[in-house]
Amino acid sequence: MKGEREMEGPVALSDAHDAPADPVAPFAEDYERDIQRVLLTEEQIQGKLRELGAAITRDYAGRVPLLVGVLKGAFVLMADLARHVHIPVEVDFMAVASYGASTQTSGVVRILKDLDHDIEGRHVLLVEDIVDSGLTLNYLLKNLRGRRPASLEVCALLQKVGIQRVPLDLRYVGFEIPPEFVIGYGLDFAERFRNLPYIATLRPEAYREA
């Protein structure tokens, strides 16, 4: 059939993904009405990930870094970033919670899921979607440093400017953004919006209606 590839199972892939993507094409009607402004388009994010991936590939050449994603927010970033790193890597995840359903940081960090393996002697690269107050990262870095990795660095896609409550040394940062609440590309409000391919701010009404 023209425009389709025959598959053995029930799924047929169309060639629609070959078309150039519209940077702010409507993604989901129910999301669009809550969005105030697109801060970073899908193309900007993917372009930056290519740069970050190239830098990581160069810096870790000859080693096998362990990429540690901080769930839930970093699940999208991890999947995309890992595919831009062109050396062997291993991946693991930690799940932490700090915000609950609110938009303000509480400063309380709970480990909901720990790493599967020992990291002693490993080159660990912590992958975070966003550094806000910095309290989550500060806690995680202290915790992981205690496990004696050979090296411990951070790759954060977003860093809010001017509001970190603790000094942090971030090796790789994708974008510095204003200190506004943002959603999309893994980041949620009340667990929604994580699957948006871009990063945006929410209309004030969206908070009130939640």
Burial class (CB in 10 A: 0-12, 13-18, 19+), 120: exposed
Q: How far is the CB of 107 from ligand PRP (least distance, A)?
A: 8
Q: How far is the CB of 47 from ligand PRP (least distance, A)?
A: 22
Determine, following the binding rule CB under 6 A, whether residue 132 of this chain makes contact with ligand PRP: yes
Tell me the window of 51-59, 86-94, 123-131, 144-152 that interacts with ligand PRP (CB under 6 A): 123-131
For ligand PRP, the binding residue among 77, 131, 200, 202 (CB under 6 A) is 131
Our answer to whether residue 59 is catalytic in this structure is no
**Cα 124 from Cα 37, distance rounded (Å):** 35
Amino acid of residue 147: R
Handedness of CA 177, 127, 43, 23 (dihedral sign): negative
Please identify, using beta-carbon distances, which residue of 22 and 114 lies nearer to ligand PRP.
114
For ligand PRP, the binding residue among 38, 97, 119, 177 (CB under 6 A) is 97
For ligand PRP, the binding residue among 130, 182, 199, 206 (CB under 6 A) is 130
**Cα 75 from Cα 183, distance rounded (Å):** 14
Please identify, using beta-carbon distances, which residue of 43 and 188 lies nearer to ligand PRP.
188
**Cα 95 from Cα 200, distance rounded (Å):** 23
Q: What 3 state SS string does 138-187 have? A: HHHHHHHHCCCCCEEEEEEEEEECCCCCCCCCCCEEEEEECCCCEEECCE
For ligand PRP, the binding residue among 53, 69, 73, 149 (CB under 6 A) is 73
Determine, following the binding rule CB under 6 A, whether residue 134 of this chain makes contact with ligand PRP: yes
Tokens of 69: 């994603």
Determine, following the binding rule CB under 6 A, whether residue 103 of this chain makes contact with ligand PRP: no
Tell me the window of 50-58, 84-92, 127-135, 172-180 that interacts with ligand PRP (CB under 6 A): 127-135
Determine, following the binding rule CB under 6 A, whether residue 133 of this chain makes contact with ligand PRP: yes
For ligand PRP, the binding residue among 45, 53, 72, 153 (CB under 6 A) is 72
Burial class (CB in 10 A: 0-12, 13-18, 19+), 193: buried
Ramachandran assignment for 132, one of left (phi > 0), alpha (psi -120 to 50 degrees), beta (any other): alpha
Catalytic positions are: 132
Residue ranges in contact with ligand PRP by CB under 6 A: 70-73, 97-99, 105, 128-137, 188
